[in-house]
Structure 1
């Protein structure tokens, strides 16, 4: 049962529009269908809401990742921008203009204005503090903040909410993402492969590329959810399966980071000679990241950088 448990666990790593249930398994034959809904297009600000305590170096890991999405941010390959180009194939298929993602405003709430135990509705409340027009609000909670469903059924989520005072039945919506820092609460669930998993083969954990298990784990989930958000922002874009528990651009490829991946093994990766850290993408400011595979709709395969 070890491999089955690990497959179930891996499905947790990439929770999306609605939280993926622990009992769900990835189907062998995956075809992400387009449901004719709008995608994220044009210039789009990525606005960050930091909830709880993050030190400057931790915030830099995340902001450098978003900066790295630009094709000119890193001269080295494989790069974060190369990884992101797989999502552009969804736009070609739907004949939609690709988005231009730019790091937007940042809000720091290190006084825990809503306490240290948050509901899903409070996550939306925090997301609404960011700009909503032509933007994605990204709520990041620190390691000492408990969130409804965190570790039990999800490591993060994305969704949408009515914009401002618009009519909740038919008004405009804005897209948001939430990801929690799992370092002290559930690293074996949400920070794998930088921590040994709870179930399955207990191989050695990989060295985190930015020397921060919690933040490097957050990057994995942020990347996965960002790919799902732009291609399925409002629940009627690209996905397979039920709309409330969809397989999306990255969640369709759980636990895959390099070629030859299988349950308990992230795949063949690059290794930093000086630190021993595993990674598969270069980013801005000399950063290295480990990013999840993205489902390539033109080949019906999970695309990896290495």
Structure 2
């Protein structure tokens, strides 16, 4: 990718299940306690703007009205004032509040305010249905160059690709990514932060929409998929977008909070991979709430009485993975 770094993540359940079996087999045989998970701070900027984080949504391809509303409602649910209007807990803004514990070298914390500043739909798919990662960057650049969105260095530009759009690495090595563009004429001379997430509803729900689907190709699993509150594809996009926004806010330029190598780091949410509720372990999401009517599983309320399932976040104050339920 041109002058940018790739962050990608994949729910690899074969690894998760194998790890759990190995740990179970070693019970009682060793007194070794692994060191705590720590995301080191690398002295770079975080997303700390006092005016908040504007999110620009670029819908690439065809989406249902429900899918768009679900994803947009998740983003709108992050800000605390929407939690006050909602009056239900645990909430999406409570989930994001953990990220405000991340501070930069000036003592500035990740902002608590996130809002949708604009949306644009490229329904016809201007670059075709088979995209590489440079095409994703081009879509972001074009959205600014064509004045769909302004050039905003404090914002996150999110490209969301439809169920029938193939993106390089999707379902094979990643469920999405976040990165940044260096200043150029197309970006109006500004360094822009962006993310991409795909719709996994039909392409790979077992990988990128777990625990609402399982992948039969990895063999028998002692796990029955949970019922998705908003649909497998929509909720898969929410889980992955939540993961990406958490990583973007705390590590926008490869120099924030992460563990491991900068090009493939453990970040705020990926450090807690596969954990959604208390008591989670590899292959099991943990204790969740259940909708009494639909039997759908969730752990956070959003605006319009939406119910979402959001990943656990690494809490820098306790150095543990924090869940809402």
TM-score by length of 2: 0.83
CA contact (8 A) 2:300 2:324 kept: yes
When residues 82 and 109 of structure 1 are mapped into structure 2, their CA distance, relative to the original with a 3 A threshold, is: same
CA contact (8 A) 1:256 1:262 kept: yes
Q: What is the 5 A alignment of 1:18-167?
A: 18-20=7-9, 29-42=36-49, 43=51, 44-73=53-82, 74-91=86-103, 95-99=107-111, 100-128=113-141, 129=143, 130-133=149-152, 134-165=154-185
- From the CA coordinates, give the structure whose radius of gyration is larger: 2
1:284 aligned to 2:303? yes
When residues 102 and 147 of structure 1 are mapped into structure 2, their CA distance, relative to the original with a 3 A threshold, is: same
Partner-residue secondary structure (3-state), 1:208: coil
When the two structures are aligned, how many residues end up with a matched partner?
288
Q: Distance in 2 between matches of 1:166 and 1:59?
A: 27
Partner of 2:246: 227
Q: Distance in 2 between matches of 1:166 and 1:63?
A: 26
For residue 163 of structure 1, report the CA deviation from its aligned partner: 3.4
RMSD: 2.3
When residues 97 and 266 of structure 1 are mapped into structure 2, their CA distance, relative to the original with a 3 A threshold, is: closer
Partner of 1:217: 236
Structure 1 portions without partners, runs of 5+: 1-15
For residue 166 of structure 1, report the CA deviation from its aligned partner: 8.1
Which deviates the most, 191-200 or 17-26? 17-26
Q: Distance in 2 between matches of 1:28 and 1:135?
A: 36
Q: Distance in 2 between matches of 1:181 and 1:143?
A: 5
Q: Deviations over 1:16-60 (max 9, x none)?
A: 942348699899632111111111121221000000101211110
Q: Deviations over 1:99-141 (max 9, x none)?
A: 2311111010010110000010011111221433121100000
CA contact (8 A) 1:47 1:131 kept: no
CA contact (8 A) 2:229 2:308 kept: yes
TM-score by length of 1: 0.88
Q: Distance in 2 between matches of 1:20 and 1:229?
A: 13
For residue 71 of structure 1, report the CA deviation from its aligned partner: 1.1
Q: Which runs of 4+ in 1 moved over 6 A?
A: 21-28
Partner of 1:191: 209
